[in-house]
Structure 1
Amino acid sequence: MILLSFDIEEFDMPLEYDGKILLEEQLAVSRDGLQKILALLKKHDIKATFFSTVVFAENNQDLITELLSQGHELASHTCYHSYFIEEHLAESRQQLEGLFDTKVTGLRMPRMSPVSSKAVADAGYHYNSSLNPTWLPGRYNNLKVSKTYFYDQDILMMPASVSYFRFPLFWLSFHNLPLFLYQFLVKKSYTYGQYLNVYFHPWEFSNIKKESYKLPGFTTKDTGEAMVKKFDRFLTWLKKNHYSFGTFQQFQNQLGS
């Protein structure tokens, strides 16, 4: 099963690189990108999982309602993208469920930050997709983490997909590799684990102000309309090769957990 997911949040990444962007613009960039994502998924009749911060959801209730009406899953990305305390685990789940008529069972921490499975379970979640089983300088070293799903204290752990030699297949790889090479790695990874878990962000699909945001070139390569076209070709390739798609909840139900 192909598990496509999107972290819908305040676009605060420029602040990591001494760029300037107000909250209003952070939300506007992500809103624009999310609209493009929903159009692509609708075009290809694909369901996905959206990990949302409470801040983004509160300010874009119409889009969250729309994605739920299209059969997508809403999961938690905690309350804020740049600030976290453990209490936000339960608070974000409860607030998202209070805003929308849906059951929130999944979590992804902002920037794949570590969190204990006990805290996740105590907050009422069933699965956690906050692991990238690779080494990313300055972020994390998860080279000893399982490359496929596993259980920890009754929480289904859903690591992001990597290649056989742990090359990450997340959003950054998608932007910087030729599509044919990315597709080759996807095919190999799927053969190994029988599922693919790759994640993206709405801002990647939006025409961002690269200069004022001061983002490194490797993070903004093939963004905006280039990303829309590239992602459209990727989805077309997946459909042509008869891969099945589903949400994280559907995958968990398939496992019987």
Structure 2
Amino acid sequence: MILLGFDVEEFDMPFEYGKSISFDEQLEISTKGTNTILSLLKEKNIKVTFFCTANYAINKPDIIKQMVTDGHEIASHGYYHSDFKAEHLRLSKLALEDISGTDVTGFRMARMMPVDEAEIAKAGYEYNSSINPTWLPGRYNNFNKPRSWFYDHDVLQIPASVSPLLRFPLFWLSFHNLPLSLLKLMSAATHKKDGYLNLYFHPWEFTDLHDKEKFGFPGYVSKNSGEAFAARIADFIDWATDNCYTFERTDTFCSKIKNKGKLALVSK
């Protein structure tokens, strides 16, 4: 199975490159990309998980409700994308539940940064998908973390997928820069090893990011953005479907793991 996750947030990434962008435009760009994703998912008839900041959801409740109407899961991406306090874990969950009218059981930390698992459990989450179990210069070194799912403080940890052995990350930047043929080959090998894929993207990737004066992004970020990125993700989905891979929401995957554990206990 393949878990597709989309981190829906206020588009503040240009700040990392010394650029300024108004909050209204942050919302506009994220919303434009989200609508592209929703249309693509409806066309392909698959369900996914949207990890949303409460800040985005409060300002765009109609988009959150459309996600729910289309059958997708709403999970938490924190309260703000560039500000974090431990109390935001519970507050974002409650805000998203109020807006979506659904239970919010999953969490992903902004920028996949470390988060206290005891606080995740305390806030009432069942799963956390905040680990990229690889090394990225200037971001993190998680070679000591498991590649596939495990439990910590009774919270199911679902790391982002990386290839076996070398732990090459199969994340959003890879989908911008690598040949699709190579991504499909690595994805197949990883799925065979782990039994699933956990891939994550952002709505703003589905908009044109080539304006360096405005966004400040290097070529490896803006490459294949906008319509080209939507086409690449559509191609990947078609390849996966043709090869009999299935797509699931992350909460469904979590429930299956929990049920397997219960069955194992009963069989003892």
**TM-score class, shorter:** over 0.9
Match of 1:180 in 2: 181
User: Contact 2:74/2:100 (CA < 8 Å) preserved in 1?
Assistant: no
Are 1:58 and 2:24 counterparts? no
User: Contact 1:18/1:214 (CA < 8 Å) preserved in 2?
Assistant: yes
Question: Given the alignment, which residue of 231, 237, 257 partners 1:255?
Answer: 257
User: Contact 2:208/2:222 (CA < 8 Å) preserved in 1?
Assistant: no
Deviations 1:215-241 (A, max 9, x none): 111111100011111111111111111
Letter of the 1:159 counterpart: P
Are 1:229 and 2:263 counterparts? no
**Partner of 2:247: helix, strand, or coil?**
coil
Match of 2:110 in 1: 110
Match of 2:207 in 1: 206
User: Contact 1:47/1:245 (CA < 8 Å) preserved in 2?
Assistant: yes
Are 1:18 and 2:21 counterparts? no
Q: Equivalent residues in 2 for 1:1-257 (5 A)? A: 1-164=1-164, 165-208=166-209, 210-211=211-212, 212-256=214-258
User: Contact 2:210/2:223 (CA < 8 Å) preserved in 1?
Assistant: no
User: Contact 2:210/2:222 (CA < 8 Å) preserved in 1?
Assistant: no
> TM-score, normalization: structure 2?
0.94
Paired with 2:139 and 2:65, the residues of 1 have a C-alpha distance of: 33
Q: CA deviation at 1:207?
A: 2.1
Out of 18-27 and 30-39, give the one that drifted further: 18-27
Paired with 2:77 and 2:197, the residues of 1 have a C-alpha distance of: 20
Q: CA deviation at 1:41?
A: 0.6
User: Contact 2:134/2:162 (CA < 8 Å) preserved in 1?
Assistant: yes
User: Contact 1:125/1:155 (CA < 8 Å) preserved in 2?
Assistant: yes
Which runs of 4 or more aligned residues in structure 1 lie more than 3 Å from their structure 2 counterparts after TM superposition?
none
Paired with 1:225 and 1:217, the residues of 2 have a C-alpha distance of: 16
For structure 2, the 5+ residue unaligned runs are: 260-268
Paired with 1:234 and 1:49, the residues of 2 have a C-alpha distance of: 17
**Partner of 1:256: helix, strand, or coil?**
helix
User: Contact 2:209/2:217 (CA < 8 Å) preserved in 1?
Assistant: no
User: Contact 1:29/1:208 (CA < 8 Å) preserved in 2?
Assistant: no
CA RMSD of aligned residues (A): 0.9
Q: CA deviation at 1:210?
A: 2.3
Number of aligned positions between the proteins: 257
User: Contact 1:127/1:155 (CA < 8 Å) preserved in 2?
Assistant: yes
